[in-house]
Amino acid sequence: MNHDFYIWMSYGMTALVIAAEIAWLRLHRAQALRRIEEERDLEAQD
C-alpha cells in the first residue's frame, strides 16, 4: 500500500504551520514597532 499521501499531508502541514507562525511573529513585531513610531510622531507634534 502506498502511504505517500499520508506522509506528505503530515510533513506538509507541519511545514505550513511553522511558516505561518514565523510570518505571524514578524508581522506582529512590525505592527508593534509601527505603533511605537506613530506614538512617537504624535508626541513630537504636541
Partner 1 sequence: MNFFYFASPSTFYRLAGILAPWCFAVAAILGAAGLYVGLVQAPTDAQQGEVYRVIFIHVPAAWMSMFLYFVMACYGAMSLTFNTRLAAMMARALAPTGAMFTFVALWTGAFWGRPTWGAYWVWDARLTSELVLLFLYFGFIALGNAFEDPRRGDRAAALLALIGVVNLPIIYFSVLWWNTLHQGSSVSFKGTSMHVSMLTGMLLMAFAFWSYSIGTALARVRTIILERERRTRWVRAL
User: Rule CB under 8 A: which residues touch partner 1?
Assistant: 1, 3-4, 6-7, 9-11, 13-14, 17-18, 21-22, 24-25, 28-29, 32-33, 35-36, 39-40
Q: What nine digits make up the cell of 18?
A: 511553522
Q: Which residue has the cell 514565523?
A: 22
Q: Dihedral (C-alpha) 20, 25, 27, 30: value to the nearest 10 degrees? A: -160
